[in-house]
């Protein structure tokens, strides 16, 4: 690892302890409204029993960024009612007009991409260069893609004994979208775009640790002409505003990205009204490296798993290497790790920034401590980067870990990888280890043998398989996880499948009134 540079303050002019009580916070030079966006209006929380705001901090230096409206039962209900009331007109809006408006929102995202990138980096600590070059363009692409896809949906007609069967994609109704903090606006737009394109109205609840770009997005959508109530954003804690949202009887779809325990709570709450849920959950994905692989490429793929400080659901955190190439692979891997720069995510040269929150780092460190106590060895990393402060965790690789151990079985969601080996030539054992967790989100494979690639890919339990690559994916492809990694698939027509109630209208050839 290159020596870290000190991290300058995120809000240099702000008071470290008490940001001014206002409905606007200035974050990275960008004004952000800190209230909910409900029914086309900005609303503060009005609770007699709980504090009406909570403080949002930057993971970069822990500085307070904003006092955010803290929603509860009343705000959840108000947002769902706004979405319910706006639904009939939005559902009846011609698809071409809905698509036009989504493209207009995408134009707004592109026009404000620099602001969105700067605020997102201040709020979630991911690299500014990634937000500028990858994430914000992808947010606009999500909107454009589903706008265009809507217009290309197949409205199939079938014929049965002279009767016509006509299939239509009817919007289901108000959709609640709940997102995590690791990729806030990217994941929000990935859900908002198909939900709105399909003709549903939306209530978005972003994660409490990263509320800011959702608020900017509401402004952008409003300025682009999205009618009041079509998109609503409520801020606050999952337990306070998320729970009443997912239990609301007027909600017709719930799309959730987050952890398995929260998904279980949402599934239980939504069961009361039999509301269909789409769950994109955690992972503990393998990276298999066979002896016939390009080991330089395999090492590149392994180091990529430290992106976003390891806070990527798809990350291949379990490296499984064929015994005879273990040392050669490890040499290439460590060579790359020494060249990584950890530090301020706003710096162009930084490769690894902070983790999201001191509480989360504590959790990450707990996994590593327990693994070390159980006999694991840290070949690199193994603790906090103390030169940078509490939120920065060293990129870590642990060896001497058992398949059944906690560190191999549980999602850490930090820059922590494990390395195991499988016997030379034992493809069965490689697949057994790869599939040997309760997750099934993704799997990555490095091999020079095309036949092996086909054979092994077919045996993975995973929603996405990458062969000699990582993270590349077309929006038309299905995305989701197997086992505890999720329920359902989104992407392409699968998104419309989820957000629509498909209807078949069968028309007889007879019974028509004669005119003229
Ligand atoms: P959580 O499950 O803790 O939170 C996700 C969202 O759910 C947050 O907005 C949270 O609110 C909200 N929430 C919490 N409790 C409830 C509740 N009872 N009812 C309704 N909503 C609730 O996950 P994290 O934020 O910690 O995100 C990390 C997880 O997300 C990891 O497991 C990761 O793998 C997964 N993930 C999966 C992806 C995929 O596509 N498969 C992609 C990205 C992440 P708040 O936190 O604001 O209180």
- The mean per-residue pLDDT over the stretch 307-330 comes to 98
Band the pLDDT of 56: cuts 50, 70, 90.
very high
Alpha carbons 298 and 296: distance in angstroms, whole number: 5
DSSP run (H or E) holding 390: none
C-alpha of 212 from chain center: 15
d(CA 111, CA 180): 25
Which of helix, strand or coil describes residue 186? helix
Element (DSSP H or E) covering residue 65: strand 64-69
Q: Check residue 365 and give its pLDDT.
A: 98
Residue 488: half-sphere exposure toward Cβ, Cα within 13 Å:
21
Question: What average pLDDT does range 122-137 have in this prediction?
Answer: 98
Question: Could you give the C-alpha distances from 77 to 41, 249, 347, 370, in angstroms and in order?
Answer: 15, 10, 42, 43
**pLDDT score at 367:** 98
pLDDT digits 0-9 by tens, 336-357: 999 999 999 999 999 999 999 9
> Can you read off the two tokens belonging to residue 320?
């499984």
Residue pLDDT, tens place only, 162-214: 999 999 999 999 999 999 999 999 999 999 999 999 999 999 999 999 999 99
b (16+ CB within 10 A) / e for 57-70 = bbbbbbbbbbbbbb
Contact 291, 324 (CB under 8 A): yes
Pairwise CA distance, residues 304 & 293, whole Å: 17
Among 259, 283, 488, residue to substitute to test ligand 1 (most atoms within 8 Å of Cβ): 259
Q: How confident is the model at residue 20 (pLDDT cuts 50, 70, 90)?
A: very low
- The C-alpha angle 245, 203, 235, rounded to 5 degrees, equals 75
pLDDT over threshold 70, residue 277: yes
The pTM is what? 0.95
According to DSSP H, which parts of 112-228 are helical? 113-124, 128-130, 136-152, 184-197, 212-224
pLDDT of 470 strictly over 80: yes
Confidence band for 453, pLDDT divided at 50, 70 and 90: very high
Q: What is the pLDDT of residue 15?
A: 41
In the set 280, 322, 411, 490, the catalytic residue is 280
Give 256-296 as a 3 state SS string: EECCHHHHHHHHHHHHCCCCCEEEECCCCEEEEECCCCCHH
Phi, psi of 178 (to 5 degrees): -120, 125
Superfamily classification of domain 286-467: Aldehyde Dehydrogenase; Chain A, domain 2 (3.40.309.10)
Which whole number is the average pLDDT over 491-507? 97
**25-281+490-500: which CATH number, 3.40.50.1820, 3.90.1150.60, 3.40.50.620, 3.40.605.10?**
3.40.605.10
DSSP 67: E
Q: Of 35-49, 357-371, 383-397, which gets the smallest average pLDDT?
A: 35-49
Inform me whether the pLDDT recorded for 490 exceeds 70. Answer: yes
Percent of the chain with pLDDT over 70: 95
pLDDT at residue 16, rounded to an integer = 42
pLDDT at 156 over 90: no
Average of per-residue pLDDT across 437-448: 98
Percent of the chain at pLDDT exceeding 90: 93
Instruction: Give the Cα separation of 289 and 299 in Å (integer).
Output: 9
Which one of 313, 322, 490, 500 is the catalytic residue?
313
Best substitution site from 176, 203, 205, 242 to test ligand 1's pocket, by max atoms within 8 Å of Cβ?
242
Distance CA 284, CA 282 (A): 7
Q: Which of 485, 438, 453, 487 is nearest to 314 (CA)?
A: 485
What CA–CA distance (Å, rounded) separates 362 from 262?
20
Q: Which of 210, 212, 258 to mutate to test the pocket of ligand 1 (most atoms within 8 A of CB)?
A: 258
Average the pLDDT over 378-405 and give the result. Answer: 97
- Kindly report the protein residue whose alpha carbon is nearest to atom 11 of ligand 1: 238
- Which sequence spans correspond to the domains of the chain? 25-281+490-500, 286-467
Cα distance between residue 384 and residue 381, in whole Å:
8
- CA 165 – CA 184 distance, rounded (Å): 41
Rounded to whole angstroms, the Cα distance separating 252 from 461 reads: 30
* Atom number, ligand 1, closest to the C-alpha of residue 283: 34
| Rounded distance from Cα 1 to ligand 1 centre (Å) | 31
Query: Among 466, 469, 468, 470, which residue's Cα sits nearest to residue 457?
Result: 466
- Mean per-residue pLDDT, 452-474: 98
Q: What is the average per-residue pLDDT within 237-253?
A: 98
Selection from 305, 398, 320, 317 nearest residue 352 by Cα: 305
pLDDT in tens, 413-427: 999 999 999 999 999
**Predicted pLDDT at 6:** 56
Lowest mean pLDDT among 35-49, 81-95, 358-372, 418-432: 35-49
Q: Which of 265, 214, 244 is nearest to 69 (CA)?
A: 214
Cβ distance 416 to 367 under 8 Å? yes
64 SS3 class: strand
- Res. 155 pLDDT band, cuts 50 70 90: confident
pLDDT at res. 7: 58
- Ligand 1 atom at minimum distance from 211 CA: 47
Inform me whether the pLDDT recorded for 13 exceeds 60.
Answer: no
Inform me whether the pLDDT recorded for 87 exceeds 50.
Answer: yes
Is 313 catalytic? The answer is yes
| pLDDT of amino acid 14 | 44
pLDDT over 60 (residue 17): no
* Rounded CA separation 399/421 (Å): 9
Residue with tokens 């990858």: 134
- Confirm if 205 and 234 have CB atoms less than 8 A apart: yes
- Helix H or strand E encompassing 47: none
Ligand 1 pocket (Cβ < 6 Å) reads: 178-182, 205, 207-208, 237-239, 242-243, 246, 257-259, 262, 265-266, 280-283, 313, 411, 413, 441, 481, 486
| Radius of gyration (C-alpha) of the chain in whole angstroms | 24
Residue 380 has pLDDT above 70, yes or no: yes
Decide if pLDDT at 444 tops 60: yes
136 CA to centre of ligand 1 in angstroms: 21
Place of tokens 């509301």: 275
Whether residue 19 is predicted with pLDDT greater than 50 in this model: the reply is no
């Amino acid at each position: 690892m290159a020596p870290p540079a000190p991290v300058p303050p995120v809000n240099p002019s702000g008071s470290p302890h008490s940001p001014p009580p206002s409905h606007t916070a200035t974050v990275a030079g960008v004004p952000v409204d800190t209230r909910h966006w409900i029914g086309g209006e900005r609303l503060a929380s009005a609770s007699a029993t709980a504090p009406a705001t909570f403080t949002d901090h930057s993971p970069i230096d822990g500085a307070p960024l904003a006092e955010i409206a803290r929603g509860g039962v009343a705000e959840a209900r108000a947002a769902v009612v706004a979405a319910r009331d706006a639904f009939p007109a939005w559902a009846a809006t011609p698809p071409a007009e809905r698509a036009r408006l989504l493209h207009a929102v995408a134009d707004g995202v592109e026009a404000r991409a620099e602001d969105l990138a700067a605020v997102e980096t201040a709020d979630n600590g991911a690299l500014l260069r990634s937000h500028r070059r990858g994430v914000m363009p992808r947010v606009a692409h999500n909107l454009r893609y589903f706008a265009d896809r809507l217009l290309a949906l197949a409205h199939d007609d079938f014929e049965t004994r002279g009767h016509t069967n006509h299939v239509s994609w009817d919007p289901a109704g108000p959709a609640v979208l709940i997102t995590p903090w690791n990729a806030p606006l990217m994941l929000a737009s990935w859900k908002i775009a198909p939900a709105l394109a399909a003709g549903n109205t939306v209530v978005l609840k972003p994660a409490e640790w990263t509320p800011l770009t959702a608020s900017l997005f509401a402004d952008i959508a409003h300025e682009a002409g999205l009618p009041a109530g079509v998109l609503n954003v409520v801020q606050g804690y999952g337990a306070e505003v998320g729970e009443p949202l997912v239990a609301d009887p007027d909600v017709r779809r719930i799309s959730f990205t987050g952890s398995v325990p929260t998904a279980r709570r949402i599934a239980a709450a939504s069961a009361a009204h039999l509301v269909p849920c789409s769950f994109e959950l955690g992972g503990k994905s393998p990276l298999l490296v066979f002896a016939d692989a390009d080991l330089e490429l395999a090492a590149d793929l392994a180091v990529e798993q430290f992106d976003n400080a390891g806070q990527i659901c798809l990350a291949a955190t379990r490296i499984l290497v064929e015994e005879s190439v273990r040392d050669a692979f490890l040499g290439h891997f460590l060579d790359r790790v020494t060249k990584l720069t950890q530090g301020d995510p706003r710096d162009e040269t930084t490769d690894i920034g902070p983790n999201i929150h001191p509480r989360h780092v504590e959790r990450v460190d707990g996994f590593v401590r327990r693994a070390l106590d159980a006999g694991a060895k840290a070949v690199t990393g193994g603790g906090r980067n103390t030169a940078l402060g509490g939120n920065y965790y060293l990129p870590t690789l642990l060896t001497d870990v058992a398949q059944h151990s906690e560190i191999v079985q549980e999602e850490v969601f930090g820059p922590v990888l494990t390395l195991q080996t499988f016997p030379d030539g034992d493809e069965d054992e490689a697949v057994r280890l790869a599939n040997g967790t309760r997750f099934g989100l993704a799997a990555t494979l490095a091999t020079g043998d095309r036949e092996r690639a086909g054979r092994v890919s077919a045996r993975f339990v995973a929603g996405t398989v990458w062969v000699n690559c990582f993270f590349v994916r077309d929006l038309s492809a299905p995305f989701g996880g197997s086992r505890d990694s999720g329920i359902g698939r989104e992407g392409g027509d699968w998104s419309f499948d989820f957000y629509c109630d498909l209807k078949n209208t069968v028309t007889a050839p007879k019974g028509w009134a004669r005119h003229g």
